[in-house]
A and B are shown apart, each in its own frame.
Chain A
Amino acid sequence: MNSAPSISSAPPPSAPPASSVSGKAVRPGDRIFLGLSRGSGIALLVIMAAIAAFLTVRSVIAISGDHANFLTFFEWNTSGPEPKFGIAVLAFGTVVSSVIAMVIAVPVAVGIALFISHYAPRRLASPLGYVIDLLAAVPSIIYGLWGALFLVPHLTGLYSWLDDYLGWTGIFSYDDQAPRALFTVGILLAIMILPIVTSVSREVFLQAPKMHEEAALALGATRWEVIRMSVLPFGRSGVISASMLGLGRALGETMAVATVLSPGFLINVSLLNPGGGTFAQNIASKFSEADEFGQDALIASGLVLFVITLLVNGAARLIIARRKEYSGANA
């Protein structure tokens, strides 16, 4: 326990301060160094505070100039003497596309993570993990380019098929336009967050204690039963927090959405038809034509996105912290 680089040891390793031993004044070198490093930490806090403060200030300017309800209005009109804009459509699009992404990505990511940690031939497993980590580094604009020029044209068949069989639900009705729709965005976001969710889940699954797996095996469990009895219970919170991290990314993704989605300020019941928008996408596409007030309005919508991602990431961190205590107690 003492020298193990355990993440759970919350108090960082620090030797007894030299000052108290020498008794006399702190050395200038030490003081400067401590000042510099503590100053950097404080600088980080200041930046965070500044982000919150400045976004809020500009948002207040924008919202107080809004002649419609900022939260529930369906349009985005920031020019003219009576600007009217609201985030209802953006909130809908952001949440829906992220939820679609999660529904697709999380089970698949858990599957791949299990594949790498427990199913793949050993020779394949570690290069695979490596490749997945590399894919997590592919810039989002490239996913966007691929999504717009490759994925979109290849989805028409699938969408008309969905329309044939599930069109009656309304959600899956499709009228043969280029499917630059929220559902497509969801699929693309799923592909994008797959590597990060996989790689965090895989880490957790690999940490599942061998001794519990052996206990299950020795009782005569099949491989799946071993996973269900010892790996999944151990990894559950890890998978949840991995999913939250993925969700945080999906919510804030800009370029991939901006390239794939054909935006429109309406809430389209059919997810397969174009229309809708997300916070980040709306900022990117409206920015170039916005005047100063228009930019403030976009900043206000960015503040909402900021708060949402903070909540999601905070929840993920809480779960991770709880899990550390749990595993620390059992170490």
Chain B
Amino acid sequence: MSNTVTTRRPVADSAPLPVSLKQPRLPRWAPAAIAVAAVAVGCGIGLVAGLESRIQWGLIGALLFILGTYVLAAAVEGVRQAKDRLATSLVWICFVLAVVPLASLIWETVVRGIKVLDGYFLSHSMGTLPDALPGGGIYHAIIGTLQQVGLAALIAAPIGLLTAIYLVEYGRGRLAKAVTFFVDVMTGIPSIVAGLFILSVWILILGFGPSGFAGAMALAILMMPVVVRSTEEMLKLVPNELREASLALGVPKWRTILKVVLPTSIGGITTGLMLAVARITGETAPVLLLVWGAKTINNNPFEGAQQSLPLYVFQQWQQGSDASYDRAWAAALVLIAFVMILNLVARGIARWKAPKTGR
């Protein structure tokens, strides 16, 4: 070991120690100041050059901000710090870049949707109203959505739950592996393909007409893998000790699952179900192929075309008149509110019922 102790490091010159711990630094307010300046210059350029699109103003401002921080930091603090600042400004810009359209989406929906949204809109159907005229409502679409989503959940929830129980509590061997794999595959099925499948079987081969139930079957296909996945995750969170404790008391396995495992994870399972319902509520494509849409109230999901909220939005948009745009936005607002409320409640349940273990 003598060599390490005695030889003074020849590399010491190539690895220069910081002479002082103090490094020249930009003041803390520098990034904010540069950002303000960049936006101002960006808008200035936009005004002077007469660029119409605000998007361009923003992009120019962002570019100036990145360049500004990098050059200033490189000059004052050195290249390493400048790279660090470059990464920071890029990350911030990504964030802003994403927030702007998403916020705009919500904003536009609320502002344009609130115009015709009232009690009348919620409690009336379109009836025989010509599309270009104002008035009408979404009562028939709400009925249709509730029935279709309800039926889909009735089909998908038991199959999904039982499959998850099979995978976690019983599943071993080839069958379980195959199921796991195909559940993954199924998660990725485009909704329009699920619609085409029901179309080919139910309508083209078996010869039934369009109905809410046909749509519900396609929605169920989309919902099943989501339910399986989320339930599986929740069941896996139940500690094995609980199962063993119950089995050791001589409780049969199926009663252990029903009385111990499921009650322990019921909060998470409910959350998963609600999120899955929220997801299929917004599906349009299969409904378009299988339910067709209608202007009047059809209370029977097993017979004849029905309406649904997302399809209503699409068809009103297709009409292309001011009145129908207003209705489309209002229905979109109702749809978004419904989905968001489902999500919030579901996540609330998850937090409230969360298993006290870990994390």
Chain A positions near chain B (C-beta within 8 angstroms): 2-5, 7, 11-15, 17-18, 27, 29-30, 32-34, 36-45, 47-48, 50-51, 54-55, 57-58, 107-112, 114-115, 119-120, 130, 133-135, 137-146, 148-151, 154-158, 161, 191, 194-195, 198, 222-225, 227, 245, 248, 251-255, 258-259, 280, 283-284, 287, 292, 295-296, 298-299, 302, 305-306, 309-310, 312-314, 317
Find out whether the CB atom of B314 lies under 8 angstroms from the CB atom of A14.
no
Chain B positions near chain A (C-beta within 8 angstroms): 51-56, 80-81, 83-84, 86-88, 90-95, 97-98, 101-102, 104-105, 108-109, 158-163, 165-172, 175-176, 178-179, 181-194, 196-197, 199-201, 204-205, 221, 224-225, 228, 233, 236-237, 239-241, 243-244, 247, 252-255, 257-258, 275, 278-279, 281-285, 288-289, 310, 313-314, 317, 325, 328-329, 332, 335-336, 339-340, 343-344, 347, 357-358
Query: Which of B90, B186, B278 makes the CB contact (< 8 A) with A44?
Result: B186
Find out whether the CB atom of B200 lies under 8 angstroms from the CB atom of A54.
yes
- CA–CA, A41 to B170, complex, Å? 11
Query: Which of A18, A48, A137, A314 makes the CB contact (< 8 A) with B252?
Result: A18
Tell me how far the C-beta of B88 lies from the nearest C-beta in chain A, rounded to whole angstroms: 6
Chain B residues with Cβ below 8 Å from A120 are: 95
Find out whether the CB atom of A142 lies under 8 angstroms from the CB atom of B109.
yes
24 sampled A-B residue pairs with Cβ under 8 A: A7-B236, A14-B170, A15-B253, A18-B247, A58-B200, A107-B94, A133-B343, A140-B284, A141-B313, A141-B335, A146-B105, A150-B108, A151-B101, A157-B55, A158-B56, A191-B98, A223-B84, A225-B80, A252-B190, A284-B285, A292-B204, A302-B192, A313-B184, A313-B188
Chain A residues with Cβ below 8 Å from B53 are: 154-158, 161
Tell me how far the C-beta of A58 lies from the nearest C-beta in chain B, rounded to whole angstroms: 5
Find out whether the CB atom of A156 lies under 8 angstroms from the CB atom of B185.
no
Contacts A45-B179, A222-B80, A295-B199; A142 near B56 (Cβ below 8 A): no
Find out whether the CB atom of A37 lies under 8 angstroms from the CB atom of B90.
no
- CA–CA, A98 to B348, complex, Å? 34
- CA–CA, A51 to B77, complex, Å? 61
Find out whether the CB atom of A5 lies under 8 angstroms from the CB atom of B358.
yes
Chain B residues with Cβ below 8 Å from A155 are: 53, 55
Query: Which of A37, A42, A51, A252 makes the CB contact (< 8 A) with B197?
Result: A51
- Closest residue to A146 on the B side, CB-wise? B105
Chain A residues with Cβ below 8 Å from B196 are: 55, 283, 298-299, 302
- CA–CA, A42 to B176, complex, Å? 9
**Beyond known contacts A157-B51, A224-B86: 16 more, CB 8 A cutoff:** A40-B162, A42-B179, A43-B159, A47-B224, A54-B197, A58-B200, A137-B339, A138-B282, A139-B310, A141-B332, A146-B105, A161-B51, A252-B190, A295-B199, A298-B196, A299-B199
Find out whether the CB atom of B182 lies under 8 angstroms from the CB atom of A44.
yes
- CA–CA, A323 to B24, complex, Å? 42
Find out whether the CB atom of A38 lies under 8 angstroms from the CB atom of B175.
yes
- Closest residue to A13 on the B side, CB-wise? B240
- CA–CA, A251 to B189, complex, Å? 10
- CA–CA, A143 to B105, complex, Å? 7
Contacts A37-B170, A55-B200; A312 near B188 (Cβ below 8 A): yes
- CA–CA, A191 to B104, complex, Å? 11
Find out whether the CB atom of A115 lies under 8 angstroms from the CB atom of B166.
no
Chain B residues with Cβ below 8 Å from A138 are: 105, 282, 336, 339
Find out whether the CB atom of A139 lies under 8 angstroms from the CB atom of B336.
yes
Tell me how far the C-beta of A138 lies from the nearest C-beta in chain B, rounded to whole angstroms: 6
Chain B residues with Cβ below 8 Å from A107 are: 94
Tell me how far the C-beta of B179 lies from the nearest C-beta in chain A, rounded to whole angstroms: 4
Chain A residues with Cβ below 8 Å from B344 are: 134
- Closest residue to A52 on the B side, CB-wise? B197
Chain B residues with Cβ below 8 Å from A3 are: 239-241, 357
- CA–CA, A313 to B109, complex, Å? 32
Find out whether the CB atom of A5 lies under 8 angstroms from the CB atom of B237.
yes
Tell me how far the C-beta of B23 lies from the nearest C-beta in chain A, rounded to whole angstroms: 11
Contacts A108-B97, A148-B317; A48 near B159 (Cβ below 8 A): no
Chain B residues with Cβ below 8 Å from A115 are: 91-92, 94-95
- CA–CA, A30 to B192, complex, Å? 39
- CA–CA, A255 to B176, complex, Å? 35
Contacts A137-B343, A224-B87; A55 near B247 (Cβ below 8 A): no
Contacts A139-B283, A158-B55; A51 near B253 (Cβ below 8 A): no
- Closest residue to B88 on the A side, CB-wise? A119
Chain B residues with Cβ below 8 Å from A245 are: 188
Tell me how far the C-beta of A251 lies from the nearest C-beta in chain B, rounded to whole angstroms: 7
- CA–CA, A253 to B233, complex, Å? 27
Query: Which of B54, B187, B358 makes the CB contact (< 8 A) with A313?
Result: B187
- CA–CA, A154 to B196, complex, Å? 34
Find out whether the CB atom of B175 lies under 8 angstroms from the CB atom of A12.
no
Query: Which of A134, A224, A253 makes the CB contact (< 8 A) with B340?
Result: A134
Chain A residues with Cβ below 8 Å from B160 are: 40
- CA–CA, A261 to B227, complex, Å? 33
- CA–CA, A273 to B181, complex, Å? 41
- CA–CA, A258 to B80, complex, Å? 47
- CA–CA, A295 to B202, complex, Å? 13
Find out whether the CB atom of A134 lies under 8 angstroms from the CB atom of B163.
no
